[in-house]
Amino acid sequence: MGTLTVNQNKLQKRLRRQAGEAVADFNMIEDGDKVMVCLSGGKDSYTLLDVLMHLQKVAPIRFEIVAVNMDQKQPGFPEEVLPAYLKTLGIEYHIVEKDTYSVVKELIPEGKTTCSLCSRLRRGTLYTFADEIGATKMALGHHRDDIVETFFLNMFFNGSLKAMPPKLRADDGRNVVIRPLAYCNEKDIQAYSDFKQFPIIPCNLCGSQENLQRQVVKEMLQDWERKTPGRTESIFRSLQNVIPSQLADRNLFDFTSLKIDETAASRFVNVVNL
């Protein structure tokens, strides 16, 4: 690409700065790490790889980057796109081939959303591959808006207050998942992807309907953001400012033993009649 415009330069610097802050705040990448960057062919994962390659050059520590894409054998999947792009970057990459498409089609009735099962099968395969190549971290392209949307999905439909943490140890204990774009918003990532002209692979090859619940939450947040700019950022900050004593989770706060502190000073003072 040629010289960046002023706005493009600001956007690139902002995404790099926000990713760097997230990596530092959560100690996502350490000296000697081997980071497996999971590429789907969408705007988020392309941006993730681009930003991490920059951080690799400027960070005071040394770490490896390995790009990995999973070919799930959806009909029409353009299998040549990612290898051609990754070759131009000159980095190590792997294409993991596993026919999870047939499994999903066999188990999910026609017309039902396949995204959940597809995601679980993909995640399990990638966890195993990360272990095989000795990756110490798995980097995913989830951004701030994904995290906030997931928070509301869990609250509305699962009755729990949880989202996507910027850093997570997987249930198997052998994988640590990181989300370096946790501080970045989707609008910036879309704009960055557009001007970088990443070779996007659409996520509709399987014919699955979009997750309707997530789409409803996304539209709700977008409407809030139009009416009150900055609200999504405020919600995200609240996830970093949890006060257990002001909620109702008995596992997080000992409400049972809560009593008056007999040593506390009285709030009342003697009133002098004037």
Q: Name every residue whose Cβ is closer than 8 Å to that of residue 196 and which is 6 or more positions away in sequence.
A: 1, 46, 47, 50
To the question of whether residue 184 is assigned a binding role by annotation, the answer is no
Tell me how far apart the alpha carbons of residues 258 and 207 are, in angstroms, rounded to a whole number. 54
Place of tokens 């089609």: 105
Nearest to 73 by CA among 206, 246, 191, 226: 206
To the question of whether residue 38 is assigned a binding role by annotation, the answer is no
To the question of whether residue 115 is assigned a binding role by annotation, the answer is yes
Burial of 44 (0-12, 13-18, 19+ CB in 10 A): buried
Q: Which helix (H) or strand (E) element contains residue 37?
A: strand 34-39
**Token reading at 96:** 């993991």
Give, in order, the Cα–Cα distances in Å from 181 to each of 99, 167, 186, 225.
29, 11, 9, 20
The annotation places the binding site for [4Fe-4S] cluster at 115, 118, 206
The annotation places the binding site at 115, 118, 206
